[in-house]
Structure 1
């Protein structure tokens, strides 16, 4: 090899080395909302699951779940946790997003979210919601879609209910002020509302949902996933480790402490929280359930091939 060619190769190696290092260990900004469904991510951050895999993960709070796909598209986030319905609507709208992992799954034992009516509103059933203004923490998100499905199953036309998008922390204040008749909320906000007397639980409607379907999914741009396969694999492995950690009763206090740190909950609230089962792996069947449910509600314009959306 000539000295000139050797010098050229050294220069090329020096120029490309930072890019290789960046791809092997990219900075991941992860977007989450104020719900316990992100517990496996919180645990991975607090119990060293990310660090053991040399992942640099920054957790970033997002007020409304419905804006996570746009944040992914703009590269403000590398991975984020939309609800399945928000994710599918984004894909239906043309965003090239895929799923790298899952968050939590449904369970009929969970009563940590439901319909919370304003004190004195008289709302007791699905029929009582007709003509009412009901706040949801994201139009097209998990609670909105599942609540509309419950209304339909109860014989109520959900188009006769006026839905408004309201972030979780505002639910109590809007009920007290009379701006909404009810909210579809979740703990810890639901418990705070009922404890304060501003509202009451009219229905734990969530118990009608089938078991073991994703409530939160972890999405990323397809382009980013293709460029960072090792980081994607490590991220998923960290969540699998977290899921195992969460399922051991001896770790309950640590799991709750991790949740409390990221969604700012005091110990007296944390101790009463129900925590949904972790579901770090997403299946075609789970995503197909949400696709079918959204089709019933005329929320999707295209036929989505769900198998193409899950990173295996």
Structure 2
């Protein structure tokens, strides 16, 4: 009798153990970002605990040049990174198999947070004045480079007659001051710092010619990693969407700006007046089609990618 009771007790304990939920292991993700507000929904998701509550351990890693992000994702030093659409599409065109899992900022005609900043005394005022000049861009083939060339073309200027050099955002002010470039295509907070010191001036807020709602930053992962970690990718998407919702609530403005300052290391006075790119956490085939067409015009793609296959589903 005692043996039977013991066996029954052990069976009950075993059944109870099977009934308990399985232990959920936290997924580690190193996410690569650059020093722009287009990553704010990710910053917010990290600070507000939206990743953590979904079982994600997301480490945010600063990357100086956007153009290096796809290679870092491919090498698995980043599991997810935020290249510009043009940098991403060129990497796919070059053979990397990576998919879009979410989006960062999007364009808006009300945003004047980036533009052409000329060196004081350079005399640059129009697109035509850029011919023969040396202009720094934060990533050859990246968002600002491609869209600025599109603006030059729209203004009747051959962008091939402009000498572009790659320069990370933090270097822009020093390069203008030292005279190594005539102008830079820059963005806040670096643009405001340059104009506040008198080293340069905004020659054009060329960004206002861009169509509304086009992605400026997209979040990508290696296809095999995303497929293997599909549940984690879904959780990442949900967290970023929740971060975007938090951003859009005016009551959270101070908290959002404080979070930006934490990851981009900005002083309070700069944070208080800078514009924040509106979020676009979901990327569509139509948006990628826009970028493919723009890049085709600039002979940046050898192939015509099937954009539908580039979105993680």
1:8-47 equivalences under 5 Å are 25-47=26-48
TM-score by length of 2: 0.92
Residues 154-206 of structure 1: CA deviation (Å, up to 9, x unaligned): 00000000000000000000101100000000000000000000000000000
The corresponding residue for 2:10 is none
2:27–2:55 CA contact under 8 A, matched in 1: no
State the alpha-carbon separation in 2 of the partners of residues 203 and 21 from structure 1. Answer: 55
Cα deviation, residue 54, structure 1: 1.1
Residues 178-237 of structure 1: CA deviation (Å, up to 9, x unaligned): 000000000000000000000000000000000000000000000000100000000000
The corresponding residue for 2:5 is none
Secondary structure of the residue aligned to 1:149 is: helix
Which aligned runs of 4 or more in structure 1 are off by greater than 3 angstroms?
none
Cα deviation, residue 311, structure 1: 1.1
1:99–1:310 CA contact under 8 A, matched in 2: yes
Secondary structure of the residue aligned to 2:100 is: strand
Residues 4-37 of structure 1: CA deviation (Å, up to 9, x unaligned): xxxxxxxxxxxxxxxx989x63210000000000
The corresponding residue for 1:90 is 91
State the alpha-carbon separation in 1 of the partners of residues 290 and 180 from structure 2. Answer: 34
CA separation of 1:206/1:137 partners in 2, compared to 1, >3 Å: closer, same or farther? same
The corresponding residue for 1:227 is 228
1:37-76 equivalences under 5 Å are 37-76=38-77
Cα deviation, residue 278, structure 1: 0.4
Q: Does 1:209 align with 2:210?
A: yes
Residues 84-106 of structure 1: CA deviation (Å, up to 9, x unaligned): 00000000000000000000110
Count of aligned pairs:
292
TM-score by length of 1: 0.92
Secondary structure of the residue aligned to 2:58 is: strand
The corresponding residue for 1:16 is none
1:25–1:231 CA contact under 8 A, matched in 2: no
2:30–2:80 CA contact under 8 A, matched in 1: yes
The corresponding residue for 2:252 is 251
1:1-312 equivalences under 5 Å are 25-312=26-313
Secondary structure of the residue aligned to 1:190 is: helix
The corresponding residue for 2:15 is none
1:41–1:242 CA contact under 8 A, matched in 2: yes
What are structure 1's unaligned runs of at least 5 residues? 1-19
Cα deviation, residue 264, structure 1: 0.2
Secondary structure of the residue aligned to 1:271 is: helix
State the alpha-carbon separation in 1 of the partners of residues 153 and 132 from structure 2. Answer: 15
2:98–2:310 CA contact under 8 A, matched in 1: yes
2:119–2:183 CA contact under 8 A, matched in 1: yes
Secondary structure of the residue aligned to 1:101 is: strand
What are structure 2's unaligned runs of at least 5 residues? 1-21
State the alpha-carbon separation in 2 of the partners of residues 311 and 73 from structure 1. Answer: 16
Cα deviation, residue 107, structure 1: 0.3
Larger Rg: 2
Secondary structure of the residue aligned to 1:77 is: coil
Cα deviation, residue 263, structure 1: 0.3
